[in-house]
Structure 1
Amino acid sequence: MDVQSGLPRCSRHPDVETGIRCTRCEKPICPTCMIPASVGFQCPDCVRGGSGTRHAPSANQPKTLTGGRLRTDGRAVTKVLMALNLALFLAVQASGDRLVSQLDLVGYAYYPVLGEVVGVADGEWYRLVTSMFLHQDIVHFLFNMMGLWVVGGIVEPELGRGRFTALALLSGLSGSALVYLLASPAQASLGASGVVYGLLGAWAVLARHRRSDMRPVVVFVGLNLLITFTRPDISWEAHVGGLVAGALLTAAMVYAPRARRNLVQYGACALVLVIVLGMVLSRTAALL
């Protein structure tokens, strides 16, 4: 006598009753079909097709090299950064030198344009950030945007949006902090070079990790460093600060043990931020 248990039947094996459902599509699945996931079990169709629902994340969802979510648009954050630079560039062209004097990176100086003492040491810490997106000269702007587009298009897909955003901002901030620490307090600095050089450092680490041909990377970075140290109007501190921070952060993201990946990656970002804060505080104390 066939006794019915009232349980649903497996969606792939109709003759088998089961009390288990796929955590993604909620179809009934039998022990033959069950594939362990981070939460519960999934059916072969969901694992193979990558189709998801709101109920649970996919255990097989494609990941970037550093554990981030793989996106269709590999330049989304790069485009946002470029848009910020473009918006400020257009604002500068419309308003003139006064806006530059209000947003560029200066340690501590009297600005005739503003008629007052200004600078990071005077409490204007925002200059460390605004100067990262500020350009006045068209050639400087186009050169940095070209570097951001090209290298950002290489690095962002490898890191994912969140990690790429952290890398770009912390690289630019590190460049600004090194300028503030080492340059003359009256020297004005501006531009996205710290961000771009941070991406160059990231590119070098990624290429090394992938065991790619390092010659194009070495030549490109070397030429940029040569220009940095041979032209007197370039802030080498911003370039070096961004390059070092970008390389170190990417190394932490790429080589972090999988079991402690988030801890190492977040810890590296926090460490760079603490170092930046330390440089800013020490320089401020020296200037006041």
Structure 2
Amino acid sequence: MGKPLFFEILEKPATSCIMAICSAIWFYIQKKNIGYSQVGLSYETAADGHFWRIITSAFSHISILHLVFNMSALWSLGVVEQSGHLGLGVAYYLQYTLVLVLLSGLLVLGMYHVLIQRFKIEYFRRVTAVGYSCVVFGWMTILSVKQPSSKLDLFGVLSLPISFAPFESLIFTSIIVPQASFLGHLSGIIVGYSIAWGLIHGMNNYWAISMLCWTGVVFISSLKRSGAWDLSFLEIEPVTDPSLPSVRIIGSGTGRTLQMSTIPLGGVELV
């Protein structure tokens, strides 16, 4: 008999949390009747400054089949958390999951840019990518290099050799889910090989936390600027004090003069 589910969850804490987050987001999307175009990533929306979609698109799933496929594969890939002896483990899993989410999303946009600007294929201007597949394919690729003898179980009935799983899954997904993003999955594979071969390396807790903080700053900033959600509570009110003198520079010919005034010329923002 296998281990009880409770003990498997304890052995894969990061994987279990990510699966719970993706499932909760899927439930919220269904309950609120949110369309994929509202949370997905496209070249057009990114060009408008909607950089927050790199994050929301990764954790959102519109189709239950897509969610089940990704979560089933992700659960099997949770073996990365249990492979500390191979230099992997929970910390490695979390650090490079962040890298996979960000870089695969940026790589997808880069591919769209080349196809649109260089090859004039306007279709990719509005095509929208949604789902955790980029990260799943990235971990498949990393595991195929780090532990080629492993197996990838899908739906509990299909077992694939991990060494061929990235490309087998790429073909399999394209067949059963025609709307699946080929470029999105391919970007995950490319970033995965870059990590596994050491082209992207050096991640530790410091860099991961720093990257996470900057991601949060860009996420909130772009979310506020795009006006997708009301973030008026983040507004900084201008504060003026008429009792404080202001300084202005007056140009006179080729010279400049400083002039003090007790009348405020404009708002002073205290950050």
Question: Do the aligned partners of 2:96 and 2:203 also contact (CA within 8 Å) in 1?
Answer: no
Higher relative contact order (CA 8 A, sep 6+): 2
CA 213–84 in structure 1, closer or farther in 2 if over 3 Å, else same: closer
Residue of structure 1 equivalent to 2:145: 205
Distance 2:138 2:167 in 1: 14
Quote the offset at 1:248 in angstroms. Answer: 2.3
Pair 1:237 & 2:237 matched: no
- Compute the TM-score of the two structures, normalised by the length of structure 1: 0.54
Paired AA for residue 111 in structure 2: L
CA contact (8 A) 2:58 2:132 kept: yes
Structure 1 segments of 4+ aligned residues over 6 angstroms from their partners: none
Does structure 2 retain, via aligned residues, the 8 Å contact 1:179–1:235? no
Q: Distance in 2 between matches of 1:157 and 1:191?
A: 25
Structure-2 residue corresponding to 1:102: 38
User: 1:1-288, aligned counterparts within 5 Å?
Assistant: 73-98=10-35, 100-108=36-44, 119-152=45-78, 154-158=79-83, 159-183=88-112, 184-208=124-148, 212=149, 216-228=161-173, 232-252=178-198, 264-266=201-203
For residues 127 and 108 of structure 2, the distance between their equivalents in structure 1, rounded to whole angstroms, comes to 9
> Per the alignment, do residues 205 and 168 of structure 1 end up closer, same or farther by CA in structure 2, a change over 3 Å counting?
same
Which letter does structure 1 place at the counterpart of 2:167?
G
Question: Residue deviations 1:217-252, cap 9 Å, x none?
Answer: 234333212235556422111111112212322333
Over alpha carbons, which structure has the higher Rg? 1
Match of 1:49 in 2: none
Q: Distance in 2 between matches of 1:137 and 1:187?
A: 17
Distance 2:187 2:144 in 1: 15
Question: Relative to 1, partners in 2 of residues 1:140 and 1:229: Cα closer, same or farther, differing over 3 Å?
Answer: closer
Alignment check: 8 A CA contact 1:174 1:238 kept: no
Q: Aligned equivalents of 2:203 and 2:64: distance in 1?
A: 36
Q: Which runs of 5+ in 1 are unaligned?
A: 1-71, 109-118, 257-263, 278-288
* Aligned counterparts of 2:144 and 2:12: Cα–Cα separation in 1: 19
Judge conservation of contact 1:172–1:193 (CA < 8 Å) in 2. no
Tell me how far 1:135 sits from its aligned partner: 0.4
Structure 2 alignment gaps of length 5 or more: 1-8, 113-123, 152-159, 216-271
Structure 2 contact 166–189 (Cα < 8 Å) conserved: no
CA-atom RMSD in angstroms: 2.9
Structure 1 residues 118-165: Cα deviation after superposition (integer angstroms, max 9, x where no partner): x1111110101110000011111111000111112x212221222111
Structure number with higher strand proportion: 2
- Partners of 1:143 and 1:216 in 2: CA distance: 17
> CA offsets per residue over residues 193-233 of structure 1, 9 Å max, x none?
0010011011111114xxx4798223433321223555642
Aligned twin of 1:31:
none
Distance 1:92 1:147 in 2: 22
Equivalenced residue count is 176
Separation in structure 2 between the aligned mates of residue 164 and residue 105 of structure 1, nearest angstrom: 24
Aligned residue number for residue 64 of structure 1? none
CA contact (8 A) 2:144 2:150 kept: no
TM-score (norm 2): 0.57
